[in-house]
Amino acid sequence: MNATDLAYVRYQTPDLSRLETFLLDFGMHPAVPRDGKRLLMRGSGAAPVIYEAVLGGEPRFLGAGLQMASRADLEALAGLPGSSLVEPVTELPGGGERVRMRMPDGFEIDALYGAAPAQSLHLPQAGDFNAAAAKPRRNMPVRVARQTQPVLRLGHFVLHVSDHDSSVAWLRERFGLIASDYLAVPGEAERIIGSFLRMDAGEAWVDHHCMLVLQAPVVGVHHCSFEMDGLDAVMCAHDHLLERGYTLDCGVGRHLLGSQIFDYWRDPFGFRIEHYTDGDVVNHLHRPGVFAGTADETTQWGAKPPLDFFT
């Protein structure tokens, strides 16, 4: 059984309208008009939904959906303990079918297959950065605006779990996720507490991680992260979000593991949400490493995360 991509993250929120305003400023679009119970947002790529929120009392992370390689994968997952049957997806644009499951700490994880792709709203631009070795942008000035910039896709999310090994085994068994790199207790490389997990696509290039699973005292989401179309988009969105009065959590900087240029914000309910660009892609030739350094060393340049980023 193999997942091929992330589909969406799902949250519960006490105020759909307030969350929608933030996500519009963050660069998403309504996938369908919001009703009184549910908010469905898309990016500018082909995924019909990348962020779902349902109305409820407390702000809470509920779970996520992953695209599977085949319908046979859904049938196999439906046969496992704790899984739903294969059921039609009726409330999301794109439709398709799914199997609902729960991870060891109770996160709702959906396996999906057969959803119709959405029409892309923005075509990413390639090769317009004039580096020292190659200057592909010719007779063409850079002109960008401090305004909302399109979010292209859901890139990854990070879970704090009560038992790292059992959560990773669960994701390996059901979705075929494999580790690109490991996190260990600082100075104790044999004590693994985190795994950067990716889709297993063999020779094909995939993001260094679609998920980070991290052992932590409090279970929940750390952040979810969305890909932007280059550094200008990240920086213009940064200025725009500041002008709109939102709370900057940490940015801009470049991570060590995965190498993304990152920019973390807090949504109106306190959840971290990230814009990123220029992340690593890897294939079967990549060999996982163990990082046992300090929190400070996880940023190569730029803003150092605040202390509460690591709790």
Nearer to Fe ion, 1 or 64 (CB): 64
d(CA 107, CA 101): 8
Residues 176, 199 contacting (CB under 8 angstroms): yes
Q: How far is CA 278 from the centre of its chain?
A: 14
Taken as a whole, the chain contains a residue count of 311
Which residue type does 248 have? L
Nearer to Fe ion, 176 or 251 (CB): 251
Per-residue binder mask for Fe ion (CB under 5 A), 270-309, x = binder: ----x-----------------------------------
Q: Which region, judged by CB under 5 A, interacts with Fe ion, from 2-10, 111-119, 200-208, 217-225?
A: 217-225
Residues 49 to 78: which contact Fe ion by CB under 5 A?
none
List helix spans (H) across the chain: 16-26, 71-78, 164-175, 231-243
Q: Could you tell me the two tokens for 155?
A: 């890139």
Does 180 bind Fe ion (CB under 5 A)? Our answer is no
Instruction: Using the CB atoms, write b or e for 280-296: b if 16+ within 10 Å.
Output: bebeeebeeeebbeeee
Nearer to Fe ion, 94 or 253 (CB): 253
d(CA 128, CA 291): 33
Per-residue binder mask for Fe ion (CB under 5 A), 228-267, x = binder: ----------------------------------------
| Residue of the chain from 225, 237, 238, 241 that contacts Fe ion (CB under 5 A) | 225
Nearer to Fe ion, 175 or 276 (CB): 276
Nearer to Fe ion, 215 or 225 (CB): 225
| Rounded least distance, CB 18 to Fe ion, Å | 24
Residues 211, 224 contacting (CB under 8 angstroms): no
Does 215 bind Fe ion (CB under 5 A)? Our answer is no
Does 195 bind Fe ion (CB under 5 A)? Our answer is no
Place of tokens 């693994």: 192
Nearer to Fe ion, 249 or 274 (CB): 274
Q: Where along the sequence are the contacts to Fe ion (CB under 5 A)?
A: 225, 274
